[in-house]
Amino acid sequence: MQTVAVIVQDGAEPFGLGSLVEVWGEPYHPDDDNPVFDFRVCTPRPGRVGGRSGFDLYVDLGLEATADADLVCLSPKSDFLDHDPAVLDALRAADARGATIYAHCSGVFELGAAGLLDGRECTTHWRYTDKLSELYPEAKVCPDVLYCHDGNILTGAGSAAGIDASLHLMRDHFGAKVAATTARRIVVPPHRDGGQAQFIANAVPDCDAETLGPLLEWIVGNLGADLSVETLARHNHMSERTFARRFRAETGTTPHAWVTRQRVQAAEELLERTDHSVDWIASEVGFGNAATLRHHFARVRGLSPQQYRRRFAG
């Protein structure tokens, strides 16, 4: 993946565009050796593009900029049910030649209008998931996830989830180290567990209890330890039931699922930057043995540890 083209249209939503620029548009990296992309912003009719937040954009490039792009991104716009035929044609052409297409937030409606969602898992902002299902009943709409990746189509939920989706794609193409370095540069976590439901239901804490943040930080630093619910609940001075309920409320997932994800991420980094055996890595990150690591790694990443190492090491 070398060339990234972002399509913007009238009513451009600035945060959506900004999230794409932050991940894919950095022109140089003085502090790391992460890839630098041929990053293009384009529009159906070059020139002034109306914004939705009191300022406009000026875009020089037309949709021909998508013709050879490895990644074509759809930035969200205010009137997401108004579809430009030229944009739909560009999306169909990109899909036909096998390019990756990423629609952020309400941009997914363009994919539906282009006929690219049938039979595919997809998502959008929680406000619009019912509308997406209504308009495109053949699409497999997942309302409570941060992003969906189905074949060459990636769709992200609203606002900040655009960064999660982009980092996922970065990880998928370039490995955990590159994704983590990108996340560190833009000061966000490299991966968030859970889905939109946690942010909808718990945007503001409904009690004055202490956050689990310190415990999560401790877990990441002690992945080789006993991290059972019983141990973690005792560490946080709670009953197991209360701890499990609080953990899901704050993270959107179970303690076991969260710990497993952290262990897989740690294994990814060790597979990339060391030549230690899979058995050694499994013990180091808390899986105990290579068979357990292989099971969880394949379930989360779709690759065996050895395949991951061959793809991303060095």
Q: Which domains occur in the chain, in start order?
A: 3-185 (3.40.50.880), 204-314 (1.10.10.60)
pLDDT score at 249: 83
Q: Which residues touch 214 (CB under 8 Å, ≥6 apart)?
A: none
DSSP assigned state of 207? S
Q: Which pLDDT score is estimated for 31?
A: 80
Query: Using CA atoms, how far apart are residues 232 and 77, in angstroms rounded to an integer?
Result: 44
Q: Rounded to an integer, what distance in angstroms lies between the CA atom of residue 219 and that of residue 213?
A: 10
According to DSSP, the β-strands at 71-74 and 3-7 are: parallel
Q: What is the pLDDT of residue 201?
A: 43
- The predicted structure's pLDDT at residue 7: 98
Strand ranges (E), the chain: 3-7, 38-42, 47-49, 57-59, 71-74, 100-104, 121-122, 140-141, 147-150, 153-156
Mean pLDDT by 10 residues, the chain (314 residues): 96 94 89 91 97 94 98 96 97 97 96 97 94 97 90 91 91 88 84 58 38 84 92 90 88 88 90 91 94 92 86 72
For residue 196, the model assigns a pLDDT of: 61
pLDDT at 48: 97
Is the CB of residue 144 less than 8 Å from the CB of residue 198? no
Residue 210: per-residue pLDDT = 54
